[in-house]
Amino acid sequence: MPRDYLKKATLTAQSHATEVHDTVKTILSDIETGGDAKALEYAEKFDKFDGNVLMTQDEIDAAIALVPEKLKADIRFAHDNVRRFAETQKATVSDVETEIVPGVVAGQKAIPVDAAGCYVPGGRYSHIASAIMTVTTAKVAGCRHITACSPPRPGEGVAPAIVYAAHICGADSILAMGGVQGVAAMTYGLFGLPRANILVGPGNQFVAEAKRILYGKVGIDMIAGPTDSLILADSSADAHVVATDLVSQAEHGYNSPVWLVTDDRALAQKVMDLVPQLIDDLPELNKENAAAAWRDYAEVIVCDNREDMAACSDEYAPEHLTVQAEDLDWWLDRLTCYGSLFLGEETTVSYGDKATGTNHVLPTSGAASYTGGLSVHKYMKIVTWQRATREGSKPIAVATARISRLEGMEGHARAADVRLAKYFPDEQFDLTADG
């Protein structure tokens, strides 16, 4: 029996994807040519901010003094969790070496990139957690210089809680600049900052497009679209909890898809009845985002059984995947495509977004089919090395010469020939391609 779409999206995350490209490309080009002055010009235009863009220690201290102690404690709690998880992840990557053949040793080294640029959204919402997620992982990875960049508010500057989070998590510099101009400033090394080797962190469609265009000139965590979430629920699920979780993610933005996949039609219908009520109870700005996301991007899908539910989920490859169903171990073993997985009613995407310790910078728009989210590994280059004794290099040189000639790469072959001639002048080798 085919899947039944009780609710089908009328738009997709890519519906308006091309509209910002030309604008972003122009801004990046202007700033690359015009440097600090042009970046400040765009900051005044878009950020409506004419204050100091590279925060001084006195400004950082003054902002920190404005943060309530209870909020500071919550930020420290979340930071500790993210740091511990990042340290555990880093421990999975180590320098190794192995003797490939007698006398030839090859190895691997994990080297952190030198400078990281961490973008922290600060427009409608102050994304405190994004500062924690991006700066902490860069610090644990061992980056020498970390810049936290966040949009300032007119007449105020960067939100004090973001400043505090970036500071305690290890940011070396805090840049009060938003949007494309902030991303460009980190990339091009403006205002005395080192050029970023990698740009990380979420942002609006302009920030995401800037990162996409700059990719190659600088590394990025991933090419990101609007945040998305999928819930797998069976008859054991609580419809009110499911509906609440869907609404909690829809409030991210007007184009944030949320999906419910279930094998229980009655549950699906109940959730669909509850969601509009829960949206209507939100504060006005949150309500506006969630209502548009639910109306235009949400889907509710009824499948025959749990295997089809899992297959459907893997096809969507959601950024956030929640399972509210029986036999959680089965789902953990079966599911393969997601940015982060939340097993059982006792956890929720909101936990991961803010304080659990796993990172909330995750692949969107189906990218979870081929990549994971931000981690210490994103800031680290896994490089290789080798060394050899003369005797150990002999069979390598012979094979290299023959393979190179078969490929038509005579210069490569001669790099092997010259070593064989130097190290083993009294020996004869068959180095022809045809043997």
- The set of catalytic residues is 319-320
**The pLDDT value given to residue 20:** 84
Q: How would you write the chain as a 3-class SS string?
A: CCCEEEECCCCCCCCCCCCCHHHHHHHHHHHHHHHHHHHHHHHHHHHCCCCCCECCHHHHHHHHCCCCHHHHHHHHHHHHHHHHHHHHHHCCCCCEEEEEECCEEEEEEEEECCEEEEECCCCCCCCHHHHHHHHHHHHHHCCCEEEEEECCECCCECCHHHHHHHHHHCCCEEEECCHHHHHHHHHHCCCCCCCCCEEECCCCHHHHHHHHHHECCEEECCCCCCCCEEEEECCCCCHHHHHHHHHHHHCCCCCCCEEEEECCHHHHHHHHHHHHHHHHCCCHHHHHHHHHHHHHCCEEEECCCHHHHHHHHHHHCCCEEEEECCCHHHHHHHCCCCCEEEECCCCCHHHHHHCCCCCCCCCCCCHHHCCCCCCHHHHEEEEEEEEECHHHHHHHHHHHHHHHHHHCCHHHHHHHHHHHHHHCCCCCCCCCCCC
Mean model confidence pLDDT for the chain: 95
What is the mean pLDDT of the segment spanning 313-341? 98
**pLDDT tens digits, residue range 198-225?**
999 999 999 999 999 999 999 999 988 8
The answer on 435 and 402 residing in a single domain is: yes
* Per-residue model confidence as pLDDT tens digits over 250-307: 999 999 999 999 999 999 999 999 999 999 999 998 999 999 999 999 999 999 999 9
Domain boundary among 221, 252, 270: 221
Q: What is the mean pLDDT of residues 235-248?
A: 98
Domain boundary among 171, 189, 221: 221
- Shared domain for 217 and 238, answered yes or no, is no
129 and 152 part of one domain: yes
Check residue 396 and give its pLDDT.
Answer: 97
Domain contains 5: no
| Average pLDDT of the segment spanning 78-103 | 97
How confident is the model over 100-110, as a mean pLDDT? 97
Q: Is 234 in the same domain as 256?
A: yes
Does residue 36 form part of some domain? Answer: yes
Residue 127: inside a domain: yes
Same domain, 64 and 107: yes
Q: Per residue in 142-200, pLDDT tens? A: 999 999 999 999 989 999 999 999 999 999 999 999 999 999 999 999 999 999 999 99
Residue 1 scores a pLDDT above 70: no
Please, which pLDDT band fits residue 17 given cuts at 50, 70 and 90?
A: low
**pLDDT, average across residues 340-358:** 97
Are 88 and 188 found together in one domain? Answer: yes
Q: Percent of the chain scored above 90 by pLDDT?
A: 93
Q: Are residues 342 and 236 in the same domain?
A: yes
Mean pLDDT score, 366-382: 96
Residues 72 and 197 in one domain: yes
Is residue 5 over pLDDT 90? yes
In a domain, 262, yes or no: yes
The per-residue pLDDT for range 396-430, each reduced to its tens digit, is: 999 999 999 999 999 999 999 999 999 999 999 99
Residue-level pLDDT at 360 = 96
Residue 307 lies in a domain: yes
Across residues 381-392, what is the average pLDDT? Answer: 97
pLDDT, residue 435, reads 53
Dihedral sign for Cα 360, 363, 368, 373, please.
negative
How confident is residue 14, by pLDDT bands cut at 50, 70 and 90?
low
Domain for residue 356, yes or no? yes
For residue 233, is it within any domain?
yes
Domain boundary among 221, 249, 283: 221
Domain count, the chain: 3
Whether 243 maps to a domain, the answer reads yes
pLDDT the model gives residue 15: 55
Residues 294-305 pLDDT 10s: 999 999 999 999
Both 198 and 256 in one domain: the answer is: no
pLDDT for 249 equals: 97
188/251 same-domain check:
no
Q: Is the pLDDT of residue 332 over 80?
A: yes
Domain interval for residue 364? 226-372
Q: What percent of the chain has pLDDT over 70?
A: 98
Q: Between the CA of residue 372 and those of 139, 305, 334, what are the distances in Å?
A: 19, 27, 17
Residues 361 and 427 in one domain: no
Verify that 350 and 329 share a domain, yes or no: yes
CATH number for the domain that contains residue 91: 3.40.50.1980
Q: Model confidence over 122-148: pLDDT tens digits? A: 876 689 999 999 999 999 999 999 999
